Amino acid sequence: MWSQEAKDELLEWCEAEGLATVDDLDGTALRRFREAARVRPRLIQVAGLKRGMRVPDPDGISREPRTTNRVLRSLGTVLEELRACGVLPLTRDEIRDNVRPVKAPRALPRFLRQDECAALLQAALRHDAEPFALTREEQAAGLKQGSTPRFEP
């Protein structure tokens, strides 16, 4: 599914760039595609269109780096398959170097304070105690494993 989107996006870009055959694809062209994919506007849903149809954001906001990376990963897979079949005149290194992921910002982890750690551990102990108490009650009632009083086998 994602591979089809990546192929469609590459074909659309190649047509706009005037690249007619795979022989025209080289490392420089892949770098230009990567940059075009990075700044491509995100797609949004608009009321009144068919379900699943999306249009470019009129505000021109570019898509998230993770979306761009998904397209680039899928495209790298497709290009690698074409290379392995002997259709694409690129090497594995050229594909890997020119279709590398874009940098995405990562949220910094927030470390818990001592009192927050203690509260989390207490909540976990309370949670664990409930299922074990229920299991002990079932065992004390003489029920066998997997049976319940509501649904007699």
Residues 132, 26: Cα–Cα separation, whole Å: 62
- Taking only the tens place, the pLDDT of each residue in 30-52 is 899 999 888 888 887 778 878 87
0.85 surpassed by pTM? no
Q: Which residues pair with 44 in a beta bridge?
A: 55
Percent of the chain with pLDDT over 70: 86
Residues 120/53, Cβ–Cβ less than 8 Å: no
Residues 34, 120: Cα–Cα separation, whole Å: 44
DSSP 40-75: PBPEEE-TTSPTT-EEE-TT-PBPPHHHHHHHHHHH
pLDDT at residue 135, rounded to an integer = 66
pLDDT at residue 110, rounded to an integer = 92
| AA letter at 11 | L
- Taking only the tens place, the pLDDT of each residue in 66-75 is 888 998 999 8
Residues 153/147, Cβ–Cβ less than 8 Å: yes
Mean pLDDT of 93-103: 91
Confidence of residue 120 (pLDDT cuts 50, 70, 90): very high
Residues 102, 44: Cα–Cα separation, whole Å: 21
Mean pLDDT of 107-111: 91
Residues 58, 12: Cα–Cα separation, whole Å: 20
The gap between the terminal CA atoms of the chain, to the nearest Å, is 45
